[in-house]
Amino acid sequence: MKALILAAGLGTRLRPITDTRPKSMVEVNGKPILFKQIDNLIENGVEDITVIAGYKSDMMVDAINNSYKNVKIIINDVYDKTNNMYSAYMALDRMYNNEFLLMNADVFYDSVIIKELVKSDYNNSIVIEEGIYNDENMKVACNGDRIVEISKVITEDDAYGVSIDVYKFSKEGSKVFYDKVIEYIEDRKELNQWTEVALNEVLKLTEFKPCPLKGRWMEIDNHEDLEKAESIFND
């Protein structure tokens, strides 16, 4: 099992904190968001980890190398002109035809979430908080126990819940996903797209099931989110 963490973004809504550090290195009660994700993976036996760095990558590289000896780092030098689908594309050679977990590096969450997701019950899957609806997060629609759509524009009536931006791909699922990513990046030259745009099309081709949320999570986009995360994880 591999893991890919997308951590190239600027985090402009967390300025001035992100004037001096990448968004994923912002701390929640003293713990960088990225380090919490890496620890969650290692605690659950996922040690083949790749991080896509971009904004202020030198700081991130130094911090990772000082704390984790086996985490691979790929630098997205065009982070300011691309989106996270392009960052995922940069790990094509490492993830294609491999079972892997994919996550955005701005979500602080409990280790038990990975513990549940790595179970063999889940082949291709998205971790979902059921019954929640908000404008900021990706919403998910289901037909029975199959996920049929992921986007921000799903209506409240059609939404099963929200994605916490943590995904699992089987070996076959990884090929279908990356074939679609290649189509967007290489054929269409669309470099500024979310990974979920490709994933939404993949859902029509490959069966994905919801992995029910176990534990706490918080996506951190702004100062209000950070304050809320520090309250939720104050233990």
110-168 pLDDT per residue, tens: 999 999 999 988 999 999 999 889 888 899 999 999 999 999 999 999 999 999 999 99
14-48 pLDDT per residue, tens: 999 899 999 999 999 999 999 999 999 999 999 99
Confidence of residue 10 (pLDDT cuts 50, 70, 90): confident
Q: What is the model's pLDDT at position 58? A: 94
Confidence of residue 69 (pLDDT cuts 50, 70, 90): confident
- For range 77-84, the mean pLDDT: 92
Instruction: Using the CB atoms, write b or e for 185-208: b if 16+ within 10 Å.
Output: beeeebeebbbbbbbbebbeebeb
In the chain, the percentage of residues whose pLDDT exceeds 70 is 100
Q: What is the model's pLDDT at position 79? A: 92
Among 3.40.50.880, 3.10.20.30, 3.90.550.10, 3.40.50.2300, name the CATH number for the domain at 2-226: 3.90.550.10
Q: Which of 23, 30, 97, 87 is nearest to 59 (CA)?
A: 23
Q: Is the pLDDT of residue 187 over 90?
A: yes
Distance, in Å, from the CA atom of 141 to the CA atom of 193, rounded to the nearest integer, reads: 20
